[in-house]
A and B are shown apart, each in its own frame.
Chain A
């Protein structure tokens, strides 16, 4: 079976390679932009690495080849439709779409969104995307000094900024998916806060347009210049779009004394394959916080890479996942401390039930120069069902001798004594479990700054966990 999978993966790689050539030309004409050049490099890196093999250490617990096979229709998509601009799109030829082709004749084939799967922010800046690219206009008052536009627009209007940052944080050999997304992304999102721009207005990105059975590889670039401070919330709501494959790469730059508060919420459908590669680069005395929340999706893999590459950086890395049904959620993190006097705190929490799987792999690397590093990591997982699985692999690699580092990983069931205590007060068994699970999960949500997002997540968690049992 694995041989078949490998062959299929190889043919997928060949098809992708051909698609890439069709897109950008098989050979450089010597006049190419740096963007195209970096895409070529990325494609080379991808072809060399291929999709992660079954024996690949960093995908040991995540059967990605099985999913690639399941989603193999993706590589059949014609490039023209693959990377089409926003707006209604023609139906696609999906070879085994389980007789769903009838639907695909309908207007634009834009996925429908279930009610109550989004939140409304009172103010702030709002963006919607279609297949990962900005659709419609930016809503709300964009503060002076803040730029929100497509990457293409940025490359034309702000060429210096654009070339100063694009592809500077992504590490191509870190993960083949990141390389693939870097190669294919024709467009994406650009958010830039100029020096000393401080705003409390939340920049909300609603990734709520996705064609059925589509394969999209969008790209995100977020920059906060010196002393700037912004909040960015990205939401991937549940969509009835079948076997979608989203492979995105995001680069975030937090310059000296700047601050970025980032939230990412994934609630995609159970057939969706979702890979998110994040690269965060920090300057001196900067602050970065991310909350990576996964409440839906079939196979979700987060590659979260942090490079606090200057002194006195503060990095907070929080995550929460609830995996149900046959879902597989994998958080793969790397905090690479290269400079002294930095602080990082990592906390992941998971609830896994039914036949679902939760994976946490967290590496903290403290390089020789990074004296006086304080790095903390914790991973806690609650397993509610015998059929559910979890894997936790914390890794500390320390080359400096004057540091404070700790990690802890726990996996267990709900505390029976706590359930009994609640029941002894008249609370039913189900309500008691619910109360404990919500308390466990809220811990992470409480750390999100935007109140509207917090409340939205409390509601979603309540709903998700009450149908859990």
Chain B
């Protein structure tokens, strides 16, 4: 589904290299977790995959479902079935959820050759998917994320994920700022969206989220590279020992 090879990324503004030869392969229907200390490049990876401006790709490639992802504009990536759940969802005053979702769903479905939903069907879909993450359906008349609580914002991201039905979803620190109840709601929502045709890349700082969204693989990202890969038990080990022992181990290897 997604294959990243030797990816080198710098910040456009000052040339600082963040990703330094990252390799990652995510198969269809798999759930991969990426963990790592602050500043290791986790969010940069999410941003680069989603097509955010401000980064320079100096080397490497990303193949998404057989196509060159890096050649695509951000909106095309989304229409091709890539989804990023933002760590910090943006507030859009004056843009109603209903209008926002209508435009997003319509452009994605149109691109994928699916039939356009009628206003009634779209509303029905919104109601159904909002229920997955316990969002009040009255949110459709509210402005996107404006006045939403931290938890509502994160649930809103998963709600949008459900609406857009992507092939590949990146969750960028979706657990940050959530209390345990909200975390469970978000995780339940994600779990209900797991399917053999949808892959996930779960970026997180803490192991906690992975108690609920159980990954197939866990990768450790440090200093711009994947330095270790394991099963779900690796997350527990990290929780217990921290990241320092990996630093030592990889230093030994180097």
Interface residues, chain A, CB within 8 Å of chain B?
415-418, 420-429, 431-432, 435-436, 438-440, 442-443
Contacts and interface: CB of A to CB of B under 8 A. Distances in A.
Given A439-B94, A439-B95, A440-B94, A424 B53 contact: no
Contact of B73 (A416, A425, A429): A429
B95 A426 contact: no
Interface string B60-77: 000000000000011101
B7 interface: no
Contacts of B53: 416, 420
Nearest to B74: A423
A399 to B, nearest CB: 35
A435 B50 CA distance: 20
Interface of B: 50-53, 73-75, 77-79, 83-84, 86, 89-90, 92-95, 99-100, 103-104, 107-108, 111, 143, 160, 164
Contact of B75 (A416, A417, A428, A442): A428
6 tightest A-B CB contacts, nearest first: A439-B94, A426-B78, A425-B104, A421-B90, A426-B108, A423-B74
B165 to A, nearest CB: 11
Contacts, number: 74
Nearest to B105: A426
A420 B93 contact: no
A432 B164 CA distance: 17
Given A416-B53, A435-B99, A435-B103, A423 B75 contact: yes
A443 B143 CA distance: 12
B93 A426 contact: no
Nearest to B109: A426
Contacts of A438: 94
Contact of B51 (A415, A423, A428): A423
B203 to A, nearest CB: 15
Contacts of A442: 94
A427 B103 contact: yes
8 contacts: A415-B90, A420-B90, A423-B74, A424-B75, A424-B83, A435-B100, A440-B94, A442-B94
A426 B75 contact: yes
Contact of B89 (A421, A432, A439): A421
B99 A426 contact: no
A134 to B, nearest CB: 38
A418 B78 contact: no
Given A416-B53, A427-B103, A443-B93, 17 more contacts: A417-B90, A418-B90, A421-B92, A424-B74, A425-B78, A425-B164, A426-B75, A426-B107, A426-B108, A426-B164, A427-B107, A429-B75, A431-B103, A435-B100, A435-B103, A438-B94, A439-B94
B160 A425 contact: yes
A402 B89 CA distance: 40
Contacts of A427: 75, 78, 103-104, 107
Contact of B52 (A420, A422, A436, A439): A420
Contacts of A440: 94
B200 to A, nearest CB: 16
A420 B95 CA distance: 14
A378 to B, nearest CB: 13
Contacts of A421: 86, 89-90, 92
A440 B74 CA distance: 23
A332 B214 CA distance: 61
Contacts of B104: 422, 425-427
A420 B74 contact: yes
Contacts of B100: 422, 425, 435
Contact of A436 (B75, B78, B95): B95
Contacts of A424: 50-51, 74-75, 77-78, 83-84, 86
Given A428-B107, A443-B94, A423 B99 contact: no
Contacts of A425: 78, 100, 104, 108, 160, 164
Nearest to B84: A424
A205 B79 CA distance: 47
